[in-house]
Structure 1
């Protein structure tokens, strides 16, 4: 079977598993299985992206033990083939609210330590306008600019829904005075997307998938994204931070406590803004649903309530209020947006 044959087989099962940017389809061959990653055409880019995953994986392979191997790359049509990692997705055995296998905490700390050792000169090129090494404040401002760009890009279409959710025009204003206070730490390769659906657990170890959002930046940010997306219990969180801060080189975790809180603030605000758009698109399209609709509604309410204190809002939004707003949005979508929000695609460039 040729690589093209494998791709064509995968294309018949694009609903098998998908993230926001790629379909991930397992194809079983006579002697092994592989994962075919096919870009989702026209996907709205709402995360900062610096490199192409297919260029990054070979670069980090000598330094990062628990990352998938790139087997084949095609540019026309665009797809990647990765080795298939045996095991189970962490989210399947330990969804939010369920403690992770204890080795996961060790493996995460080890991953972040290994990323420190990836030399910049082996990585794909970085644009000249990218924040300078160790300029944590400039790196943070780049994150903020992306989140504000998402808001501004969708503001006209989504203003009624933003208003229902009380999202202000400048949702990140509270961070303007915080970023200059960040401690300067050496920049490293950061994964920036380690969460329960991107971790495969097998034989007492973990493999970390989906490197498409990797960046050159502040290692404390990597931990902040991880904590935000994992939603650990207090004991797990404290244990991970203890292991991580003890193992990382001192200069890479200098001043980490207040800066971790600042990055977490950004992630909470970003989730409220970005997922207002993403979740509403799912409701208009009536799926595909990554979780049950009731879970999605509870999640959206939680995200908005986490961000509201930063906007000076003391009241909490209820799940019923979120459902009512999204149902009204779906009802009015055809007349208000014409072709539908799910077909209006926007791209963000780092440069």
Structure 2
């Protein structure tokens, strides 16, 4: 079967981009992708049907441990819908394979402008308005969810799907390499099963489009407001999950969290989306607890994988402090009686690091 026209365009775009990358391109690395920011020339602009010499972001996925669900294969397909309703979001273009090209949104990234500090009320209002706009995207226009996806409104089953994903796709597949480390830093072997048993029911809320990764590095601040970028982790589900991931990943203070929740609730009600706020406070706490509970796995693995081959005391201490923080945040959600101290975690990381190095050498041979 001969290639379809769109496949030919993607192949040609890929070749032109590879040539373009041999010149100058700013490199931005994230958890999931390496992003190359570059101006596209006339030939590529003709292939894509866009204005030439404007800046684009070329996204190349990193080979990383899977820690978050991706229910839609193509971010570009999701963006095709999102951009019709959230005009500020930059368009995406499929290139070859899993690579994609995105219009570069000018502005200041919030993580550069304000990496850790307090967020003022105007910014919180911007976030609340964004969640309303996202919730209004027509679900019928989105790609179909997986076959095992919970039925619209089955909020408890949606949460349980997330819990089971963490167990089946994050915890268990990584036990061979990280299992001893998980045990030694104090993650209970039945952490996810026990969490699920403690949260068997939630209030039913209509499912909507969720971004699920609204944090400072994904927010571009402009004069006319904010633009939320990077929609690769978008899913379809309970709106409280989106609010919870936002609260956790923004690192809000307790006061900011209360403000954000209040503004979100009022914005939803003002937009005739009041039913989405049903059971808000109790169920939001559940989703926040889940975020802290599930994050112990990726945080431990990232800390361990971030250790250099010739790691010294300071490397182990920084990694151990990162793991300790994750375990401390999960103390309540996982009902941990105690959390190991930094020195104990350092020792566990040293042991894992020495054994993993031996394993890697054996694999290479």
TM range (shorter): 0.7 to 0.9
Q: Does 1:217 align with 2:230?
A: no
Once the two structures are superposed, the pairs formed by residues 291-330 of structure 1 within 5 Å of their partners are: 297-330=320-353
Shift of 1:337: 5.1
- Which structure has the bigger radius of gyration? 2
Match of 2:152 in 1: 133
SS at match of 2:57: strand
Aligned equivalents of 1:101, 1:258: Cα separation in 2 = 25
Offset at residue 325 of structure 1 (A): 2.7
Greater shift after overlay, 106-115 or 8-17? 8-17
Kindly state the Cα deviation for residue 167 of structure 1 after the two structures are TM-superposed.
0.8
2:29 aligned counterpart, secondary structure: coil
Tell me if 1:34 matches 2:61: no
- Superposed CA deviations along residues 68-99 of structure 1, whole A, max 9, x for unmatched, are 222x32134x4211111112221112222x11
| 1:260-271 alignment runs, 5 A limit | 260-271=284-295
Bigger relative contact order, structure 1 or 2 (CA pairs below 8 A, ≥6 apart): 1
| Residues 9-18 or 53-62, more deviating | 9-18
Query: Matched residue pairs, number?
Result: 333
CA offset digits 1:263-303 (Å, max 9, x no partner): 1111111111122122211215689xxxx987654332111
Offset from partner CA, 1:192-218 (integer Å, 9 cap, x none): 111111111122521111111111100
1:266/1:15 Cα in 2 relative to 1: closer, same or farther (>3 Å)? farther
- The residue number in structure 2 matching 1:148 is 167
Instruction: Report the alpha carbon displacement of residue 180 of structure 1 after superposing the two structures with TM.
Output: 2.9
How has the CA–CA distance of structure 1 residues 55 and 339 changed in structure 2, closer, same or farther, with 3 Å as cutoff? farther
Query: What is the SS of the residue equivalent to 1:315?
Result: coil
Distance 1:293 1:26, change over 3 A: farther
Cα separation, 1, equivalents of 2:310 and 2:234: 31
**Structure 1 residue runs without a partner (length 5+):** 344-351
1:35-67 alpha-carbon deviations (Å, 9 max, x no partner): 111122x43221111112111001111222342
Q: Which moved more, 1:197-206 or 1:142-151?
A: 197-206
* Residue deviations 1:145-186 (CA, integer Å, cap 9, x gap): 111121111112212211221111111233223433200000
Match of residue 194, structure 2, among 167, 174, 194: 174
Gaps of 5+ in 2: 1-11, 42-52
Aligned to 1:334: 357
User: Do structure 1's residue 117 and structure 2's residue 139 form an aligned pair?
Assistant: no
CA RMSD of aligned residues (A): 2.7
What is the DSSP-based 3-state SS (H/G/I as helix, E as strand, rest coil) of the residue aligned with 2:296?
Answer: helix
